[in-house]
C-alpha cells in the first residue's frame, strides 16, 4: 500500500462570490445524511451521530463540513455526493484547513 498525505476537504458555507450559504443548518443536514458512512458500516443507532468522515463544524463564523479522505476509500459515490453538493451550490472548498477565509460579502441578518 502506498503512503499518501491525503488531506481533509473543507466545504465552506460561503459561495464563490463570498455570500453566506443558506439555510443556516446546511452543514448539520449534509453531515446527517452522511452519518451512515462510517468505519464498520452503519450500525443500529448510528444515524444519531455524525460519521467521523463527514463532520460539521465552524471556522470563526463560517459553517463548514470536513470530509475525510477515508470516505472516498470506503464509498466513492458518497465522496462524490459531498463534492457535488459543494459544486452544485457554488460553495468554496479547501484541501486542508483554510488558512484565511475571504471577507464575507453578505453577512447573515440578525433575528
Full residue range of the structural domain in which residue 45 is found: 9-95
Count of structural domains, the chain: 1
Domain-embedded: residue 43: yes
Q: Cell numbers of 64, please?
A: 463548514
- What is the pTM assigned to this prediction? 0.81
Q: Identify whether 77 is part of a domain.
A: yes
Successive 10-residue mean pLDDT values, the chain, 111 residues: 67 96 96 90 72 94 96 95 98 87 47 37
Q: Is residue 38 part of a domain?
A: yes
Position 6 scores a pLDDT of: 67
The DSSP element (H or E) to which 87 belongs, if any, is helix 76-88
pLDDT given at position 102: 57
User: CATH number of the domain that 52 lies in?
Assistant: 3.30.70.2340
27, 28, 49, 23: which is closest to 37 by C-alpha? 49
pLDDT of residue 39: 86
**pLDDT at position 97:** 84
Give, in order, the Cα–Cα distances in Å from 96 to each of 10, 36, 47, 65, 66.
7, 23, 26, 12, 9
Domain assignment of residue 2, yes or no? no
In a domain, 100, yes or no: no
**Rounded to the nearest 10 degrees, how much is the dihedral formed by the CA atoms of 77, 83, 88, 93?**
180
Task: Note whether residue 30 is domain-resident.
Answer: yes
Amino acid at each position: 500500500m502506498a503512503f499518501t498525505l491525503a488531506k481533509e476537504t473543507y466545504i465552506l458555507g460561503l459561495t464563490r462570490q463570498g455570500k453566506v450559504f443558506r439555510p443556516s443548518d446546511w452543514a448539520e443536514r449534509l453531515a446527517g445524511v452522511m452519518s451512515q458512512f462510517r468505519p464498520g458500516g452503519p450500525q443500529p443507532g448510528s444515524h444519531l451521530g455524525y460519521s467521523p468522515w463527514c463532520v460539521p463544524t465552524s471556522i470563526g463564523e463560517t459553517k463548514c463540513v470536513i470530509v475525510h479522505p477515508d470516505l472516498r476509500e470506503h464509498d466513492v459515490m458518497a465522496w462524490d455526493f459531498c463534492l457535488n453538493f459543494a459544486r452544485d451550490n457554488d460553495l468554496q472548498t479547501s484541501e486542508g484547513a483554510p488558512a484565511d477565509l475571504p471577507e464575507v460579502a453578505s453577512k447573515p441578518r440578525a433575528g
